[in-house]
């Protein structure tokens, strides 16, 4: 039977609401622990067993094989508070939105009621309400005490804080173990973090052999718990305890084991990684090092991670003898060099001239300007001793990623477009300004801007990181693509903060005088209120709802609604949020995050923001109209609620392009589903709804559970911390739903769905092609570090998958591919592709508002 099975499509499938946990968890140092008897602790533990939310706790206890609780289990049980309820008292009420607690009955009994009808009972030792620990959602039943009860209560904020602390502690321990391995020191911290995330635990019993002498091995081990003996011919050579490692050569080549390794403690847990997993993740160790070297080259800063991966494959090894001249000052060059071994001398002219520097650090690069143009070399480089280098030629670079100067210019133009003060520049003006930027390099600790100085320059950070400091206090760290100092283009600007380099950094700079020479005074440009903007990313300024003519309701979300509005003979989508509703559910930070991310993005595969405003009661986002309706509606109207694989490929490819754009800017979306994919007038897909999107640095994780349950990756539910890998899991679910009419882990019961997601076993109907099955399986891998899209090839691995054969992604980006469906629109305000709503309809979240008006504490000030 394999992975083939009949698929049941749920009848009357409705739109799915997104869910989220409270954005803020409790502070671990403020959690109070309540003493309990051993009997009570054992009763609570039995209530946790078999519950998927607590599966990792039970597994942890089983692995220990001891009569003690794990640290996390002890903390969770210890933090539970006592609650006493009289007979007839309601513990939770059906439909209540305030559910954020899990309960365990210690004494007494309770009735479970749905629509006032009793459907079950709960006795001592039973737990209930566990979904409220994951995310805020309406209670689906009433639980009422039938006699006096004693219960123990676990709060969502406490659960989240303890789970996060535990996950961060485990990751830190893994990182420390990986950092201790000398072989891994040649790769960056980011890649070591990926390795740490990929390590999987294996448990061995006393006297069990982990490796045998003479065998060919392909697995590397780090001892996490327990003790092992290294033996040869029955003679013990050494004992290894927690933190020790063995078998690292197996990651590089076939490793004939030189000794036996046997468990000598009661049990032993090792963190392991096999060679194939290592190669899938980073490629050979040398290739990972090459990637890291290229990422440090200032001129290559605009390239994406996937492009750097492609370039690393084109590096050519070259060797030079002692005293050999690599290139001379004044000669024409066409390649960059990276030093692998040896030492080089840099002279200002001939070898008899003044020595400028010595290059001896492995990974140092030189000659990079030759990648841009054929200008003469600025110095002479000679081998001080025999040296090995890697060479990247301009021909290889342009054949792989295109003309570097053009790529860099495009990257700078995109950054300029995101600067609100420069949003009124035309495309031609942005290009002219980008060409006028001057490149400057700074060393660790150097000031780019000093607090209190008169400023006259605007900066874009191209490479490295800088810290924003108020005096000596660090407020935040900026990454490549960030900009600062823009007010200096408008007026004499007294710098409000220090900008200090964290490591070496490169910036692109333009002064106010240079700006005026290129484009004229900025204030004049602002005053002119130009009419000509780009078709994507045009901005409008609205100050009041009365300036807009409300035409229709386009959609309803959990916490807002979208209107079709008119302004100056153009049409826009207006997303409206009631401030009190947002404050009531604690999503104010999410909403501000959504606004800031949309202001930062501009793509044909995203629904683009064109303006924001607010009044006393509501917040408004003005977006471009996308009138072809939701992909969800298109699927609903298709036979069996699915589309042919050819159409699914097109829609999936558009989604890949949207995620590639976001991930290149270090954003993860976290709420993909057909309801959030809109079909534009030409039939192309655009990704919408950035309410749960989040910016993450390389190697960083976030812990808030959010999204739509059908599309949630396992790591979102287990709260082990997640990255942009959750988007690639969701892509797999989307492809499955588009081709089958349902989701692979669908279940009427939420806990059952949770269990299915954790297992990750997908069954396919017989009509799904082999290539489609393979792609979905590789996207929906339980371990996020091994998921397609997260491996060394990045998004290119997805684009090159056989299922996408026939999709020209370059043509897709230029909108040259014919979509499988064209919306039957009669004009720009035709709403035929959307559900009908009354203009004054309330959205589902409207019930969250209480009678007491909540203070906003100025959180919406910058909206």
CA separation for the pair 818, 828 (Å, rounded) = 21
Strand order in the sheet with 260-263: 209-211, 260-263, 227-232, 235-241
CA separation for the pair 594, 694 (Å, rounded) = 8
Is 558 annotated as belonging to a binding site?
yes
429 or 656: whose pLDDT is higher? 656
* Residue with the two structure tokens 């439909």: 95
First to last CA, the chain: 55
CA separation for the pair 396, 399 (Å, rounded) = 5
pLDDT value of position 734: 98
Q: Given CA atoms 807, 812, 815, 816 in this order, what sign does their dihedral have?
A: negative
3-state secondary structure (DSSP) of residue 768: coil
Domains of the chain, CATH where assigned: 19-162 (2.60.120.10), 181-282 (2.60.120.10), 285-405 (2.60.120.10), 425-521 (2.60.120.10), 545-627 (3.30.200.20), 631-813 (1.10.510.10)
Residue of 65, 72, 64, 74 whose CA lies nearest to 224: 64
CA separation for the pair 50, 468 (Å, rounded) = 48
Task: Report the percentage of the chain scoring pLDDT > 70.
Answer: 91
Report CA dihedral (169, 173, 179, 184) to the nearest 10 degrees.
Answer: -100
CA separation for the pair 802, 790 (Å, rounded) = 18
CA separation for the pair 629, 832 (Å, rounded) = 8
- The whole-number average pLDDT for the span 333-345 is 93
Residue of 472, 474, 468, 436 whose CA lies nearest to 449: 468
Residue spans of beta strands (DSSP E) within 342-431 = 344-347, 355-359, 365-366, 380-383, 387-393
Question: What 8-state DSSP symbol labels residue 376?
Answer: B
Residue of 130, 64, 157, 198 whose CA lies nearest to 755: 130
3-state secondary structure (DSSP) of residue 54: helix
659 pLDDT exceeds 80? yes
Backbone torsion region of residue 286, taken as left when φ is above 0, otherwise alpha when ψ lies between -120 and 50, otherwise beta: alpha
* Residue with the two structure tokens 């396919």: 764
DSSP alpha helices (H): ranges in 463-533?
A: 512-519, 522-528
Residue of 811, 731, 808, 810 whose CA lies nearest to 772: 731
Question: What 8-state DSSP symbol labels residue 702?
Answer: B
- Average pLDDT score, the chain: 86
Is 555 annotated as belonging to a binding site?
yes
Most distant CA atoms of the chain, gap in Å: 98
- pLDDT band per the 50, 70, 90 thresholds, residue 135: confident
CA separation for the pair 373, 404 (Å, rounded) = 9
Beta bridge partners of 391: 316, 337
- The whole-number average pLDDT for the span 108-137 is 91
CA separation for the pair 343, 359 (Å, rounded) = 6
Q: Given CA atoms 18, 22, 23, 28 in this order, what sign does their dihedral have?
A: negative
CA separation for the pair 463, 296 (Å, rounded) = 8
- pLDDT band per the 50, 70, 90 thresholds, residue 1: very low
Q: Give the Å distances, CA to CA, from 575 to 198, 588, 860.
A: 40, 15, 16
Token digits for 755? 């269990």
Catalytic residue among 197, 671, 680, 710: 671
Contact call for residues 64 and 56 (beta carbons, < 8 A): no
Token digits for 463? 């490479």
Question: What 8-state DSSP symbol labels residue 300?
Answer: G
CA separation for the pair 487, 494 (Å, rounded) = 9
Strand 483-484 to strand 457-470: parallel, antiparallel, or no bridges (unpaired)? antiparallel
578 pLDDT exceeds 50? yes
Residue of 680, 552, 534, 674 whose CA lies nearest to 606: 680
CA separation for the pair 825, 828 (Å, rounded) = 8
CA separation for the pair 591, 408 (Å, rounded) = 32
Beta bridge partners of 246: 221
Q: Which residues contact 460 (CB under 8 A, 6 or more apart)?
A: 412, 415, 416, 437, 481, 482, 483, 507, 508, 509
Residue of 83, 93, 86 whose CA lies nearest to 147: 86
3-state secondary structure (DSSP) of residue 94: coil
Does residue 6 carry a catalytic annotation? no
- The whole-number average pLDDT for the span 730-759 is 93
Q: Give the Å distances, CA to CA, from 461 to 421, 478, 483, 507, 509.
A: 17, 8, 6, 4, 9
Candidate ranges 271-285, 398-412, 789-803; pick with highest mean pLDDT: 789-803
Residue of 756, 621, 604 whose CA lies nearest to 687: 604
pLDDT value of position 798: 97
- pLDDT band per the 50, 70, 90 thresholds, residue 387: very high
Beta bridge partners of 358: 345
851 or 596: whose pLDDT is higher? 596
Is 342 annotated as belonging to a binding site?
no
- The whole-number average pLDDT for the span 168-184 is 87
pLDDT value of position 61: 43
CA separation for the pair 368, 335 (Å, rounded) = 7
pLDDT value of position 6: 64
pLDDT value of position 537: 43
Over residues 505-528, the pLDDT tens digits come to 889 899 988 888 888 887 776 665
Residue of 433, 434, 470, 429 whose CA lies nearest to 450: 470
Residue 695 burial (10 A CB sphere; 0-12, 13-18, 19+) = middle
Token digits for 813? 């980006």
Is 554 annotated as belonging to a binding site?
yes
Is 561 annotated as belonging to a binding site?
yes
DSSP alpha helices (H): ranges in 216-356?
A: 275-282, 285-295, 305-312
Beta bridge partners of 102: 154
Is 402 annotated as belonging to a binding site?
no
* Residue with the two structure tokens 């220990």: 64
Is 575 annotated as belonging to a binding site?
yes
CA separation for the pair 816, 683 (Å, rounded) = 12
Over residues 210-248, the pLDDT tens digits come to 999 999 888 999 999 999 999 998 899 999 999 999 988
Residue 100 burial (10 A CB sphere; 0-12, 13-18, 19+) = buried
850 or 653: whose pLDDT is higher? 653
* Residue with the two structure tokens 């409206």: 576
pLDDT value of position 28: 62
pLDDT value of position 11: 52
Is 628 annotated as belonging to a binding site?
no
- pLDDT band per the 50, 70, 90 thresholds, residue 29: low
Over residues 533-575, the pLDDT tens digits come to 333 445 677 888 889 999 999 988 767 789 999 998 899 999 9
Contact call for residues 294 and 308 (beta carbons, < 8 A): yes
CA separation for the pair 612, 240 (Å, rounded) = 61
pLDDT value of position 345: 92
Over residues 198-209, the pLDDT tens digits come to 898 999 999 999
62 pLDDT exceeds 60? no
Neighbouring C-beta atoms of residue 659, cutoff 10 Å:
24
CA separation for the pair 44, 660 (Å, rounded) = 45
- The whole-number average pLDDT for the span 674-695 is 94
Residue 671 burial (10 A CB sphere; 0-12, 13-18, 19+) = buried
Is 562 annotated as belonging to a binding site?
yes
Over residues 747-783, the pLDDT tens digits come to 888 888 988 999 999 999 999 999 999 999 999 999 9
Is 792 annotated as belonging to a binding site?
no
């Amino acid at each position: 039977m394999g992975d083939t099975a009949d698929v049941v499509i749920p009848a009357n499938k409705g739109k799915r609401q997104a869910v989220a946990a409270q954005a803020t968890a409790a502070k671990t140092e403020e959690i109070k622990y309540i003493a309990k008897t051993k009997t009570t602790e054992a009763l609570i533990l039995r209530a946790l067993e078999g519950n998927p939310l607590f599966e990792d706790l039970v597994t942890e206890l089983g692995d220990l094989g001891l009569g003690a609780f794990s640290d996390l289990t002890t903390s969770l049980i210890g933090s539970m508070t006592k609650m006493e309820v009289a007979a007839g008292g309601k513990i939770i009420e059906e439909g209540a939105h305030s559910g954020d607690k899990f309960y365990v009955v210690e004494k007494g009994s309770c009735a479970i009621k749905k629509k006032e009808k009793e459907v079950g009972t709960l006795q001592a030792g039973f737990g209930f309400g566990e979904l409220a620990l994951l995310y805020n959602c309406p209670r689906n039943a009433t639980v009422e005490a039938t006699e006096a009860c004693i219960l123990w209560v676990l709060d969502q904020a406490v659960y989240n804080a303890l789970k996060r602390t535990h996950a961060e502690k485990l990751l830190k321990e893994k990182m420390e173990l990986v950092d201790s391995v000398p072989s891994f020191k040649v790769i960056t911290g980011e890649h070591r973090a990926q390795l740490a995330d990929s390590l999987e635990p294996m448990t061995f019993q006393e006297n069990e052999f982990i490796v045998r002498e003479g065998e060919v091995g392909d697995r590397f081990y780090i001892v996490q718990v327990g003790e092992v003996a290294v033996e040869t011919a029955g003679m013990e050579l050494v004992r290894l305890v927690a933190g020790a490692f063995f078998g690292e050569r197996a990651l590089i080549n076939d490793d004939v084991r030189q000794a036996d390794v046997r468990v000598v403690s009661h049990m032993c847990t090792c963190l392991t990684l096999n060679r194939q997993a290592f190669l899938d993740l980073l490629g050979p160790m040398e290739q990972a090092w090459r990637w890291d070297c290229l990422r440090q080259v200032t001129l290559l800063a605009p390239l994406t991670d996937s492009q750097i991966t492609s370039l690393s494959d084109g590096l050519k090894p070259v060797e030079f003898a002692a005293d050999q001249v690599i290139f001379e000052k004044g000669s024409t060059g066409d390649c960059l060099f990276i030093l692998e071994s040896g030492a080089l001398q840099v002279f200002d002219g001939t070898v008899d001239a003044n020595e400028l520097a010595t290059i001896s650090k492995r990974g140092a690069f030189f000659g990079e300007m030759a990648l841009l143009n054929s200008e003469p070399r600025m110095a002479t480089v000679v081998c001080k001793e025999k040296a090995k280098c890697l060479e990247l030629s301009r021909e290889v670079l342009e054949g792989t990623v295109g003309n570097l100067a053009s790529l860099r210019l495009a990257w700078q133009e995109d950054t300029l477009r995101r600067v609100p003060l420069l949003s009124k520049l035309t495309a031609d003006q942005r290009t002219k300004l980008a060409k006028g930027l001057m490149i400057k390099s700074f060393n660790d600790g150097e000031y780019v801007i000093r607090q209190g100085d008169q400023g006259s320059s605007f900066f874009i950070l191209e490479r490295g990181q800088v810290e924003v400091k108020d005096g000596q206090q660090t407020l935040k760290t900026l990454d490549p693509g960030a900009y600062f100092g823009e007010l200096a283009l408008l007026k004499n600007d007294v710098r409000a903060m220090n900008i200090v380099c964290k490591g070496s950094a490169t910036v692109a700079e333009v002064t106010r005088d240079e700006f005026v020479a290129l484009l004229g005074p900025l204030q004049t440009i602002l005053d002119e209120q130009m009419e000509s903007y780009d078709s994507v990313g045009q901005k409008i300024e609205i100050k009041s709802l009365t300036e807009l003519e409300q035409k229709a309701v386009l959609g309803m979300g959990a916490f807002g609604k979208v209107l079709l509005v008119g302004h100056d003979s153009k049409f826009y989508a207006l997303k409206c949020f009631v401030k009190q509703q947002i404050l009531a559910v604690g999503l104010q930070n999410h909403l501000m995050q959504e606004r800031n991310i949309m202001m930062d993005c501009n793509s044909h595969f995203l629904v683009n923001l064109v303006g924001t405003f607010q009044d006393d009661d509501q917040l408004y986002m003005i977006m471009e109209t996308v009138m072809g309706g939701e992909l969800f509606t298109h699927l609903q109207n298709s036979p069996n609620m699915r589309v042919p694989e050819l159409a699914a490929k097109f829609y999936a490819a558009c989604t890949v392009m949207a995620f590639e754009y976001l991930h290149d800017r270090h954003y993860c979306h976290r709420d993909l589903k057909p309801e959030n994919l809109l079909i534009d007038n030409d039939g192309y897909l655009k990704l919408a709804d950035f309410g749960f999107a989040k910016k993450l640095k390389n190697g960083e994780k976030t812990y808030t559970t959010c999204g739509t349950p059908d599309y949630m990756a396992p790591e979102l539910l287990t709260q082990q911390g997640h990255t942009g890998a959750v988007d690639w899991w969701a892509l797999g679910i989307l492809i499955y739903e588009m081709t089958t009419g349902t989701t692979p882990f669908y279940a009427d019961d939420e806990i059952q769905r949770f269990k299915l997601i954790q297992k990750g076993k997908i069954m396919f109907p017989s009509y799904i092609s082999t290539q489609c099955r393979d792609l979905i399986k590789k996207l929906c891998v339980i371990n996020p570090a091994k998921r397609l899209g997260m491996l060394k090839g990045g998004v290119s691995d997805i684009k090159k998958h056989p299922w996408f054969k026939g999709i020209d992604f370059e043509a897709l980006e230029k909108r040259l591919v014919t979509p499988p469906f064209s919306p039957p629109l009669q004009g720009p305000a035709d709403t035929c592709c959307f559900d009908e709503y009354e203009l004054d309809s309330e959205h589902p979240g409207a019930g969250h508002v209480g009678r007491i008006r909540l203070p906003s504490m100025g959180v919406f000030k910058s909206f």
